[in-house]
Structure 1
Amino acid sequence: MTNTTALPQMLYFTDPGLREQIEALPEETALIGISTTGRAIAVDLDAESPHVLVCTATGGGSTTMLRSLTAQFLHQGAHALVLDPKRISHLWAKSLPTVTHRGNTAGIHDALVHLASELERRLDLEGDLDDVPRLIVAIDAGTTTLQALARYWEKFRQSDDPKTSPAIAGLEEALWAGRAARVHVIFNRRPSAGVLGPGAREQFATVILSRFSADTWQLLAPMAGPAPNQSKSPGRFHVIQQGDVHETQALLMSDADVVNWLTDRTDSAS
């Protein structure tokens, strides 16, 4: 039985000593939060988790999770492509020089087409990527975004163009070949097999769920057994890695936390 009283109600980036612990993590690792057993739960992009899937109901904290994970990798020297179809969920990203922020469908389409070219360039380096920054592709409202991209392509494609949107094809390629190219996708929402290929779900070795239905749990975490009871605590997620389930109090970073941290000239990290 887990000790559900081991955690504070919220876990803030500004809590004493927490920032220093986060900055001490290895380059490829980002803190998700602290489990109810007191264990630090993290994602390691170079180990089992080249990509991360976050899925919650509205208001479940998925946008906050994308921001927190992306910010930690940026602090380590990564670059990021933040796709923000609501245009206001990730305003923090607009002020940072190593982040490309795109909101409208045309801009997202062009960014993912460019991603396919960048992926090919990186793969041509045949593993000689020491001087190439890790690239985080953070996709908010992912299912809605992909559906909009499919409609956009149908509107503009010519008769001799491929049926599948090149933007969606670029994202699929990043999911399959991203580990070798140091390109990593953080996808918010339940991926649709009707838009992404049937094997897309298997590319996400870390799955982070909150406010989920039993159907969503069985689709996204089938190896983790039956759906657990959900906590009513704010900021509480279930993290599934290699079939293990960790009830986790998520790290909370505000827009201001992220911008101040990543623009702090006195910070010697990265």
Structure 2
Amino acid sequence: MTTTTLPQVLRFTDPGLRAQLEALPASTALIGIGTDGTAIAVNVDHAPHILICTGTGGGSTTILRTLTAQFLHQGAHALVLDNPLVAHLWTKDLPTVTHRGSVAGIHDALLGLATELQRRLHLDDVDDGLDDVPRLMVVLDRADTTLRHLARYWETFRQKNDPKKSPAITTLEDVLHAGHQARIHVLYNGRAPAVRDQFATVILARVSAGTWQHLAPIAGPAPKPSAHPGRAHVVQDDTTRPTQLLLMTDAEAADWLTATAVGKS
């Protein structure tokens, strides 16, 4: 008989869970478990960017952490843009992560990302391609606030002949459009009003009916939000699946990746 209820909780420390994560292909991360007990996952080779939007207490920062940690474990690198709450300090000491928390630092990091995008697109055109280039995850927490800060920051020193739009924001849009070809993927926590169609996987929790219709208009009416910790709806291929999200603490993520780096995974 098919199970129609979600697990009460899904933790990194659950028996067998860590082995399940380590067995996933290098392009796939576990989001959580659905009502029929099957894994709800995302393969960034097919769905390159992920949009996360939650209401208060919906767990968006936890979702970013668990997904980012999995891709890092698989050998990816990450650019973590962490303004204004500095919620991802667990990444700061990891050798394959660049962490930026200030608006100026995020601005400069995105300008550097523009150069990296072009470098990777060039490599994709030559014989060797991108086979030896690590996947790059761009993790943008509190994106709506960060983009507003970037726009204001650009206005403080923009010259007469400079573009009106912040080049940092333009870079992010370019990555959303061309990143798949360059093995660059965006994990975006926010509403993404101008680029919604670039996200094939959308994770929603505790959002209003208006936000649901804005971000998942083809997925039908908004389901009733759940106050249960770790509950969300994952929208992929216009299909909505209730999901119990994987929960991983800062310490669990950092310890797992530190062990991975020294060959003790």
| Distance in 2 between residues matched to 1:147 and 1:6, nearest whole Å | 37
Question: What is the one-letter code of the residue matched to 2:80?
Answer: V
Task: Count matched residues.
Answer: 259
Contact residue 6 and residue 243 of structure 2 kept, 8 A: no
Tell me which residue corresponds to 1:261.
256
Question: What is the one-letter code of the residue matched to 2:40?
Answer: I
Contact residue 6 and residue 33 of structure 2 kept, 8 A: no
Among 113, 116, 138, the residue aligned to 2:114: 116
> Structure 1 residue 6: deviation in Å?
4.3
> Structure 1 residue 88: deviation in Å?
2.8
What whole-Å deviation, never above 9, does each CA across 1:187-219 have from its counterpart, x for those lacking one?
A: 0011133xxxxxx10000000000010001101
2:213 aligned with 1:209, yes or no?
A: no
SS of the aligned residue for 2:109 comes to: helix
| Distance in 2 between residues matched to 1:5 and 1:188, nearest whole Å | 27
| Distance in 1 between residues matched to 2:29 and 2:51, nearest whole Å | 14
Change in 2 beyond 3 A, CA 1:192/1:148: farther
> Structure 1 residue 57: deviation in Å?
1.1
Tell me which residue corresponds to 1:174.
175
| Distance in 1 between residues matched to 2:85 and 2:33, nearest whole Å | 30
Unmatched 5+ residue regions in structure 1? 194-199
Contact residue 87 and residue 104 of structure 1 kept, 8 A: no
| Distance in 2 between residues matched to 1:12 and 1:256, nearest whole Å | 13
SS of the aligned residue for 2:118 comes to: helix
Contact residue 34 and residue 243 of structure 2 kept, 8 A: yes
| Distance in 1 between residues matched to 2:5 and 2:182, nearest whole Å | 41
SS of the aligned residue for 2:124 comes to: coil
Residue identity over aligned pairs, in percent, reads: 64
Unmatched 5+ residue regions in structure 2? none
| Distance in 1 between residues matched to 2:162 and 2:84, nearest whole Å | 29
Q: What TM-score do the two structures reach when normalised by structure 2?
A: 0.95
What whole-Å deviation, never above 9, does each CA across 1:238-260 have from its counterpart, x for those lacking one?
A: 00000011100000111111111
> Structure 1 residue 59: deviation in Å?
1.9
Tell me which residue corresponds to 1:96.
94
Change in 2 beyond 3 A, CA 1:165/1:63: same
| Distance in 2 between residues matched to 1:57 and 1:136, nearest whole Å | 24
| Distance in 1 between residues matched to 2:264 and 2:20, nearest whole Å | 14
Tell me which residue corresponds to 1:147.
148
The list of structure 1 runs, each at least 4 consecutive aligned residues, that deviate by more than 4 angstroms after superposition, is none
> Structure 1 residue 97: deviation in Å?
0.6
| Distance in 1 between residues matched to 2:164 and 2:227, nearest whole Å | 44
Tell me which residue corresponds to 1:26.
25
| Distance in 2 between residues matched to 1:218 and 1:189, nearest whole Å | 14
Q: What TM-score do the two structures reach when normalised by structure 1?
A: 0.93
Among 232, 237, 243, the residue aligned to 1:237: 232
| Distance in 2 between residues matched to 1:243 and 1:117, nearest whole Å | 34
SS of the aligned residue for 1:179 comes to: helix
